[in-house]
Amino acid sequence: MQVFDLEKARGSLARGLARQAMDDAARESADTGRILADLRAMAPNPRSRQRFAARMTGRRGVLLARAVRDGLVIVLRTVLTVDLRKDGQPCFSEERIAWTRFHLRNAKRWTSFDVQALHVTRHVMQRRIERSDCPMTGVLADMDAAMLRALSRLEKGDILQDRDDDFVPAQRGVWAGGYEQAAVDPEWGPAFRNGPPMQVFAIRTFLSEPEMRPTVWMRWSQACSGIRAA
């Protein structure tokens, strides 16, 4: 009887596992426009916020919905095709998973949103599988947990900078990428329709300790304070 060692096959399986995670995310992509419309209609009181959060639990693409003192925080996962441009000229298109955190603040006569967003390609997930000891089952669920932590760091401005590169600390390494300006989907509604382009942190790859420059490793080690759990 032969025993197949998944860990030894990590590199050869990574591409297929990343593709499967992308397919799973596409099937469970959140209806952002509908959810934001429901959010805008929510009454500005603690009970309504708690009820809305409970109603969102388990809804497609909703990873977190929590009532807070001044409103509600919700994190959505969607799959989208992004057209990359440089100097106004089209370069290429790519499929991405977006993890977007909305912090709604509402009162009787006004509503506002704070938004942080992370974008990841299939290539990024493949590199993380190859370069870390992350689980090889439930890849999308593990990425959800990792992106929730990364969004928390973005909210706090906890970005490592080295030379001209930006990194979001992870507990197994760093997410390397940078900010991009993205047009807001018209389906997000009037609160976003006439606003400026949205700032999105687009992750380009995952670096474990061996792939980091020494200066990046030092900053990452300090940021993580010695914590190495997944």
Q: Name the DSSP class of 133.
A: -
Rounded mean pLDDT of 86-99? 82
pLDDT at 84: 76
pLDDT at 1: 43
SS3 letters for 50-113?
HHHHHHHCCCCCEEEEEEECCEEEEEEEEEEEEEEEECCEEEEEEEEEEEEEEEEEECCCCEEE
Query: How distant, in Å, are the alpha carbons of 18, 129, 135 from that of 138?
Result: 11, 12, 7
Confidence label for 226 from pLDDT (cuts 50, 70 and 90): very low
pTM comes to 0.89
pLDDT at 196: 77
pLDDT at 6: 61
**Bridge-based pairing state of the strands 198-207 and 111-120:** parallel
Following DSSP, what letter does each residue of 118-130 receive, concatenated? EEE-HHHHHHHHH
Residue 16 has pLDDT above 90, yes or no: yes
Residue 230 has pLDDT above 50, yes or no: no
**Helix and strand element counts for the chain (H, E):** 7, 8
* Spatial strand order in the sheet of 165-169: 62-68, 71-86, 89-106, 111-120, 198-207, 174-182, 165-169, 160-162
Confidence label for 7 from pLDDT (cuts 50, 70 and 90): low
Mean pLDDT of the chain: 88
Residue 220 has pLDDT above 60, yes or no: yes
Residue 86 has pLDDT above 80, yes or no: no
Place of tokens 């952002």: 32
Place of tokens 């992106």: 147
Residue 169 has pLDDT above 70, yes or no: yes
Rounded mean pLDDT of 44-58? 90
Rounded mean pLDDT of 118-147? 95
Residue 121 has pLDDT above 50, yes or no: yes
pLDDT at 227: 47
Rounded mean pLDDT of 132-143? 93
pLDDT at 60: 94
Q: Within a 10 A sphere around the Cβ of 216, how many other Cβ atoms? A: 22
How far apart (Å, rounded) are the C-alpha atoms in residues 207 and 22?
Answer: 20
Residue 73 in contact with residue 225, Cβ under 8 Å? no
Rounded mean pLDDT of 7-25? 89
Enumerate the domain spans of the chain: 10-224
Q: Within a 10 A sphere around the Cβ of 12, how many other Cβ atoms? A: 9
Q: Between these two residues, 3 and 37, which has the higher pLDDT value?
A: 37
Q: What SS3 class is residue 169?
A: strand
Q: The tokens of 168 are what?
A: 């979001």
pLDDT at 2: 47
151-173 burial string, b = 16+ CB within 10 Å, else e? bebbeeeebbebeeebbbbbebb
